[in-house]
Amino acid sequence: MCKTNKLPFILSALAALLCGMGAVAEAPGLREVFDIHAKCGRAIVAGDIPGGKRVMIPITGGEVSGELKARIIPGGADYQMVDTLCGRVEYKAVYTLLTEDSTYINVTNLGVSSNAGGKNYFVTSPKFEADVNSPYGWLNDRIFVCRPVRFEPDGIVLRVWVVE
């Protein structure tokens, strides 16, 4: 729940800034929180556009398991910009979750994959929008990263970590 009095927030931010001067920042940790099992339809190739080849992959359903339990509402999509010359793909997946207690959570997942230099890199960062008064409000206030666990004939499994 959001507080209307901004003074405590401003003071704590100022204190953190002043205390942090001269200090060395610690590397953040990651904690595994859940897996996203997304079911996908056939890719739709819009063709070559400025910046690469636009590919849209419908998100037709699926589920989330772990600390968050939900199903994926059909109707989302993964919008990909494919650079075939450099072997790089930018991702923007947009979809909605419905939890077991009927709370909707919107997801926007941005990321990149690359095979530059013969090394495979595939990382995305999902952003969650949940009702602040729900048990899932904490999702709004955290940064998440995810990677594919495996590809399936009709979808993908992503593992999600929260940055701590």
- The pLDDT confidence band at residue 156, using thresholds 50, 70 and 90, is very high
pLDDT at residue number 129? 98
pTM: 0.84
Angle CA 78–81–82, to nearest 5: 115
Hey, which residues does 107 pair with through a beta bridge?
Answer: 95, 128
27-76 residue pLDDT tens: 999 999 999 999 999 999 998 988 899 999 999 999 999 999 999 999 99
pLDDT at residue number 84? 85
The average confidence (pLDDT) of the chain is: 91
Predicted confidence (pLDDT) at residue 3 exceeds the cutoff of 80:
no
104-114 residue pLDDT tens: 999 999 999 99
